[in-house]
Amino acid sequence: MVRGFAAYLRSLDPAAEVIPAGQFRPGTCRATPYLYSDAEISALLQAAAALRPALRAATYQTLISLLAVSGIRIGEAIGLDDADFDAGRELLVIRNAKYGKHRLVPLHPSTARALTRYAELRRQAHPRPASPALFVSTAGTRLLHSNIGLTFTRLAGQAGLTRRSASCRPRVHDLRHSFAVNTVLSWYRDGADIAALMPRLSTYLGHTDPQHTFWYLSAAPELMALAGQRLEAHLAGGS
Protein backbone atom coordinates (compact mmCIF):
# COMPACT_ATOMS: atom_id res chain seq x y z
CA MET A 1 0.00 0.00 0.00
CA VAL A 2 2.85 2.38 0.84
CA ARG A 3 4.64 1.63 -2.44
CA GLY A 4 1.42 2.14 -4.40
CA PHE A 5 0.84 5.51 -2.77
CA ALA A 6 4.46 6.51 -3.43
CA ALA A 7 4.05 5.59 -7.12
CA TYR A 8 0.93 7.76 -7.26
CA LEU A 9 2.84 10.70 -5.75
CA ARG A 10 5.59 10.23 -8.32
CA SER A 11 3.04 10.63 -11.12
CA LEU A 12 2.36 14.08 -9.67
CA ASP A 13 5.91 14.92 -8.66
CA PRO A 14 8.87 13.18 -10.39
CA ALA A 15 11.02 13.96 -7.34
CA ALA A 16 8.92 11.68 -5.12
CA GLU A 17 10.79 8.53 -4.13
CA VAL A 18 9.27 5.08 -4.68
CA ILE A 19 10.23 2.54 -2.03
CA PRO A 20 12.19 -0.37 -3.60
CA ALA A 21 10.35 -3.66 -4.07
CA GLY A 22 11.08 -6.19 -1.34
CA GLN A 23 11.70 -3.53 1.28
CA PHE A 24 8.81 -4.85 3.34
CA ARG A 25 8.34 -8.49 4.24
CA PRO A 26 5.15 -9.85 2.60
CA GLY A 27 2.60 -11.11 5.11
CA THR A 28 3.33 -12.89 8.36
CA CYS A 29 6.65 -14.74 8.60
CA ARG A 30 6.09 -18.04 10.42
CA ALA A 31 8.79 -20.39 11.55
CA THR A 32 9.10 -23.65 9.65
CA PRO A 33 7.94 -26.44 11.99
CA TYR A 34 10.66 -28.78 13.24
CA LEU A 35 9.09 -32.22 12.89
CA TYR A 36 10.60 -34.60 15.43
CA SER A 37 11.32 -38.23 14.69
CA ASP A 38 10.75 -40.88 17.35
CA ALA A 39 14.51 -41.15 17.77
CA GLU A 40 14.83 -37.40 18.38
CA ILE A 41 12.09 -37.44 21.01
CA SER A 42 13.83 -40.37 22.71
CA ALA A 43 17.08 -38.38 22.68
CA LEU A 44 15.31 -35.42 24.30
CA LEU A 45 13.91 -37.66 27.03
CA GLN A 46 17.33 -39.19 27.63
CA ALA A 47 18.86 -35.71 27.99
CA ALA A 48 16.05 -34.72 30.39
CA ALA A 49 16.80 -37.78 32.54
CA ALA A 50 20.18 -36.26 33.40
CA LEU A 51 18.62 -33.13 34.94
CA ARG A 52 18.95 -32.66 38.68
CA PRO A 53 17.29 -33.01 41.11
CA ALA A 54 15.19 -36.07 40.30
CA LEU A 55 11.92 -34.12 40.40
CA ARG A 56 13.16 -31.72 37.71
CA ALA A 57 14.19 -34.64 35.51
CA ALA A 58 10.79 -36.28 35.97
CA THR A 59 8.98 -33.00 35.30
CA TYR A 60 10.66 -32.43 31.94
CA GLN A 61 10.51 -36.06 30.88
CA THR A 62 6.77 -36.20 31.63
CA LEU A 63 6.06 -32.77 30.16
CA ILE A 64 7.87 -33.49 26.88
CA SER A 65 6.23 -36.90 26.62
CA LEU A 66 2.76 -35.45 27.21
CA LEU A 67 3.26 -32.75 24.57
CA ALA A 68 4.49 -35.36 22.08
CA VAL A 69 1.59 -37.78 22.52
CA SER A 70 -1.30 -35.36 23.08
CA GLY A 71 -0.48 -32.32 20.94
CA ILE A 72 -1.66 -29.86 23.59
CA ARG A 73 -0.13 -26.39 23.63
CA ILE A 74 2.75 -25.70 26.01
CA GLY A 75 0.66 -22.95 27.63
CA GLU A 76 -2.14 -25.44 28.20
CA ALA A 77 0.26 -27.89 29.84
CA ILE A 78 1.65 -25.18 32.11
CA GLY A 79 -1.88 -24.13 33.05
CA LEU A 80 -3.00 -27.63 34.07
CA ASP A 81 -3.88 -28.05 37.74
CA ASP A 82 -3.66 -31.34 39.56
CA ALA A 83 -7.48 -31.48 39.57
CA ASP A 84 -7.52 -31.24 35.75
CA PHE A 85 -6.05 -34.73 35.42
CA ASP A 86 -8.71 -37.43 35.80
CA ALA A 87 -6.71 -40.64 36.15
CA GLY A 88 -9.82 -42.82 36.43
CA ARG A 89 -11.36 -41.55 33.19
CA GLU A 90 -7.93 -41.14 31.52
CA LEU A 91 -8.38 -37.57 30.36
CA LEU A 92 -7.25 -33.99 30.85
CA VAL A 93 -9.51 -30.98 31.27
CA ILE A 94 -8.09 -28.00 29.38
CA ARG A 95 -9.57 -24.81 30.84
CA ASN A 96 -9.45 -21.28 29.45
CA ALA A 97 -7.35 -22.28 26.45
CA LYS A 98 -6.92 -20.13 23.35
CA TYR A 99 -10.02 -17.97 22.74
CA GLY A 100 -11.15 -18.85 26.29
CA LYS A 101 -12.39 -22.31 25.30
CA HIS A 102 -12.51 -25.48 27.41
CA ARG A 103 -12.12 -29.02 26.11
CA LEU A 104 -11.50 -32.61 27.19
CA VAL A 105 -8.38 -34.41 25.96
CA PRO A 106 -8.60 -38.23 26.13
CA LEU A 107 -5.32 -39.94 26.99
CA HIS A 108 -3.86 -43.31 26.12
CA PRO A 109 -3.78 -45.58 29.22
CA SER A 110 0.04 -45.53 29.19
CA THR A 111 0.01 -41.73 29.24
CA ALA A 112 -2.42 -41.69 32.16
CA ARG A 113 -0.16 -44.11 34.06
CA ALA A 114 2.89 -41.93 33.40
CA LEU A 115 1.08 -38.84 34.69
CA THR A 116 -0.04 -40.78 37.77
CA ARG A 117 3.56 -41.81 38.52
CA TYR A 118 4.73 -38.21 38.10
CA ALA A 119 1.96 -36.90 40.38
CA GLU A 120 3.00 -39.37 43.08
CA LEU A 121 6.65 -38.33 42.82
CA ARG A 122 5.61 -34.68 42.99
CA ARG A 123 3.52 -35.35 46.12
CA GLN A 124 6.49 -37.05 47.79
CA ALA A 125 8.72 -34.07 47.02
CA HIS A 126 6.08 -31.49 48.00
CA PRO A 127 3.53 -32.92 50.47
CA ARG A 128 2.19 -29.38 50.92
CA PRO A 129 2.51 -27.90 47.43
CA ALA A 130 2.87 -24.17 46.96
CA SER A 131 0.78 -24.38 43.81
CA PRO A 132 -2.16 -26.47 42.53
CA ALA A 133 -0.27 -26.95 39.24
CA LEU A 134 0.13 -30.43 37.76
CA PHE A 135 3.68 -29.67 36.61
CA VAL A 136 5.84 -27.90 39.17
CA SER A 137 9.35 -26.56 39.56
CA THR A 138 11.76 -27.86 42.19
CA ALA A 139 10.37 -25.14 44.48
CA GLY A 140 6.85 -26.51 44.05
CA THR A 141 5.65 -23.54 41.97
CA ARG A 142 4.00 -23.51 38.57
CA LEU A 143 6.45 -23.72 35.65
CA LEU A 144 7.31 -20.57 33.69
CA HIS A 145 7.15 -20.55 29.89
CA SER A 146 10.48 -18.71 29.60
CA ASN A 147 12.29 -21.25 31.80
CA ILE A 148 10.83 -24.15 29.83
CA GLY A 149 12.07 -22.59 26.60
CA LEU A 150 15.60 -22.17 27.93
CA THR A 151 15.72 -25.69 29.35
CA PHE A 152 14.30 -27.21 26.17
CA THR A 153 16.91 -25.43 24.06
CA ARG A 154 19.68 -26.88 26.24
CA LEU A 155 18.16 -30.35 26.09
CA ALA A 156 17.88 -30.12 22.30
CA GLY A 157 21.58 -29.22 22.08
CA GLN A 158 22.55 -32.11 24.36
CA ALA A 159 20.39 -34.44 22.25
CA GLY A 160 22.25 -33.37 19.11
CA LEU A 161 19.30 -31.57 17.53
CA THR A 162 20.36 -28.67 15.30
CA ARG A 163 18.77 -26.13 12.99
CA ARG A 164 17.56 -27.47 9.65
CA SER A 165 17.38 -24.01 8.10
CA ALA A 166 17.39 -20.35 9.09
CA SER A 167 13.69 -20.58 9.97
CA CYS A 168 13.58 -24.15 11.28
CA ARG A 169 15.02 -24.90 14.70
CA PRO A 170 13.97 -27.25 17.51
CA ARG A 171 11.17 -25.62 19.51
CA VAL A 172 8.97 -27.05 22.22
CA HIS A 173 5.87 -25.90 20.29
CA ASP A 174 6.85 -28.12 17.36
CA LEU A 175 6.01 -31.21 19.40
CA ARG A 176 2.41 -30.16 18.68
CA HIS A 177 3.12 -29.94 14.95
CA SER A 178 4.74 -33.39 15.05
CA PHE A 179 1.71 -34.88 16.80
CA ALA A 180 -0.65 -33.49 14.16
CA VAL A 181 1.49 -34.72 11.27
CA ASN A 182 1.98 -38.19 12.75
CA THR A 183 -1.76 -38.51 13.36
CA VAL A 184 -2.61 -37.75 9.73
CA LEU A 185 0.22 -39.96 8.47
CA SER A 186 -1.27 -42.90 10.38
CA TRP A 187 -4.69 -42.16 8.86
CA TYR A 188 -3.23 -42.15 5.35
CA ARG A 189 -1.47 -45.44 5.94
CA ASP A 190 -4.71 -46.95 7.26
CA GLY A 191 -6.60 -45.72 4.19
CA ALA A 192 -8.91 -43.57 6.31
CA ASP A 193 -11.16 -40.77 5.04
CA ILE A 194 -8.91 -37.79 5.85
CA ALA A 195 -11.52 -35.14 5.02
CA ALA A 196 -14.00 -36.72 7.41
CA LEU A 197 -11.46 -37.04 10.21
CA MET A 198 -9.86 -33.58 10.00
CA PRO A 199 -12.60 -31.89 12.07
CA ARG A 200 -11.92 -34.42 14.83
CA LEU A 201 -8.22 -33.57 14.84
CA SER A 202 -9.05 -29.85 14.87
CA THR A 203 -11.35 -30.35 17.86
CA TYR A 204 -8.74 -32.42 19.69
CA LEU A 205 -6.09 -29.74 19.10
CA GLY A 206 -8.45 -26.97 20.17
CA HIS A 207 -8.62 -25.21 16.80
CA THR A 208 -11.68 -23.13 15.99
CA ASP A 209 -11.58 -24.09 12.30
CA PRO A 210 -10.02 -27.06 10.41
CA GLN A 211 -8.16 -24.62 8.15
CA HIS A 212 -5.98 -23.73 11.13
CA THR A 213 -5.00 -27.38 11.38
CA PHE A 214 -3.81 -27.53 7.77
CA TRP A 215 -0.94 -25.16 8.61
CA TYR A 216 0.42 -27.85 10.94
CA LEU A 217 0.50 -30.30 8.05
CA SER A 218 1.97 -28.19 5.25
CA ALA A 219 5.62 -28.67 6.21
CA ALA A 220 5.70 -32.48 6.08
CA PRO A 221 7.12 -33.79 2.77
CA GLU A 222 6.12 -37.36 3.58
CA LEU A 223 2.54 -36.26 4.19
CA MET A 224 2.44 -34.28 0.97
CA ALA A 225 3.81 -37.32 -0.89
CA LEU A 226 1.06 -39.56 0.49
CA ALA A 227 -1.56 -36.97 -0.46
CA GLY A 228 -0.10 -36.85 -3.96
CA GLN A 229 -0.17 -40.63 -4.26
CA ARG A 230 -3.82 -40.72 -3.22
CA LEU A 231 -4.66 -38.02 -5.78
CA GLU A 232 -2.83 -39.91 -8.53
CA ALA A 233 -4.69 -43.09 -7.68
CA HIS A 234 -7.99 -41.21 -7.75
CA LEU A 235 -7.23 -39.67 -11.13
CA ALA A 236 -6.08 -42.99 -12.54
CA GLY A 237 -9.31 -44.61 -11.39
CA GLY A 238 -11.38 -41.84 -12.93
CA SER A 239 -9.68 -42.18 -16.31
Say if 169 falls within a structural domain. no
Active site residue 8: no
Among residues 34, 60, 204, 216, the one annotated as catalytic is 216
Residue 168 lies in a domain: no
> Of 60, 176, 177, 204, which is the active-site residue?
176
24 CB contacts (<8 Å, ≥6 apart)?
A: 2, 3
The sheet that has 85-86: what strands, in order across it? 85-86, 91-94, 103-106
List the chain pLDDT tens, one digit each, 239 residues.
Answer: 777 788 878 888 888 888 777 666 655 556 778 889 999 999 999 999 999 999 999 999 999 999 999 999 999 999 999 999 999 999 999 987 776 788 999 999 999 999 999 999 999 999 988 899 999 999 999 999 999 999 999 999 999 999 988 888 999 999 998 998 889 888 888 888 888 888 888 888 888 777 767 666 665 666 666 666 666 666 677 54
pLDDT of residue 30: 67
The answer to the question of residue 188 being in a domain is yes
Q: Are residue 24 and residue 65 in the same domain, yes or no? A: no
* Active-site residue, 34 included: no
207 as an active site residue: the answer is: yes
Q: Are residues 154 and 180 in the same domain?
A: no
pLDDT of residue 239: 46
How high is the pLDDT of residue 124?
94
Written in H, E and C, the secondary structure of 144-197 is: CHHHHHHHHHHHHHHCCCCCCECCECCCCCHHHHHHHHHHHHHHHHCCCCHHHH
> Do 210 and 129 belong to one domain?
no
pLDDT of residue 129: 83
Annotated catalytic residue 173: yes
Q: Is residue 98 flagged as an active site residue?
A: yes
Domain assignment present for 165: no
Q: Which of 95, 98, 126, 169 is catalytic?
A: 98
Statement to judge: residues 21 and 46 lie in one domain: no
| The last residue of a domain, from among 158, 186, 203 | 158
- Indicate if 153 and 53 belong to the same structural domain: yes
Q: Which of 34, 36, 73, 118 is catalytic?
A: 73
Q: Is the pTM of this model over 0.85?
A: no
CA–CA separation, 205 and 200 (whole Å): 9
- 230 in catalytic set: no
Range of the domain at 186: 174-238
Which candidate in 95, 171, 173, 188 is catalytic? 173
Could you tell me if 25 and 47 lie in one domain?
no
